[in-house]
A = this chain, B = another copy of it.
Amino acid sequence: MEMTMGLIAIGMGLAIGLGALGVGIGQGIATGHATEAMARQPELVGTIRTTFIIGLAFMEAAVIYALLIAFMLFGKIG
């Protein structure tokens, strides 16, 4: 049970770490381009923000899945 707990912890670290890495970069790109799109077309601000929020939500879902797996693995450690 010793060794196993350690390896599960590394699995949890990889899951949430790599997930947050990708989603962080992705949301950064999305935020950056969305603000520039607003600056280019001020009368579309509402529409662009809606699209942007949809994108963020989908990305957040990806990191939530990684978090979910990490939680499930955590339940096996204790």
Q: Contact residues of A with B, CB < 8 Å?
A: 1-45, 47-49, 51-56, 58-70, 72-74, 76-78
Contacts and interface: CB of A to CB of B under 8 A. Distances in A.
Contact of A39 (B12, B40, B60, B68): B40
Grouping DSSP codes into helix (H, G, I), strand (E, B) and loop, the A interface class, with mixed when no group exceeds half, is helix
Contacts of A52: 31, 35, 51, 54-55
Contact of A27 (B4, B15, B16, B62): B62
Contact of A72 (B7, B27, B39, B74): B74
A56 B55 contact: yes
Q: Can you list the 4 inter-chain pairs with the closest CB atoms, starting with the nearest?
A: A6-B7, A26-B28, A32-B33, A31-B55
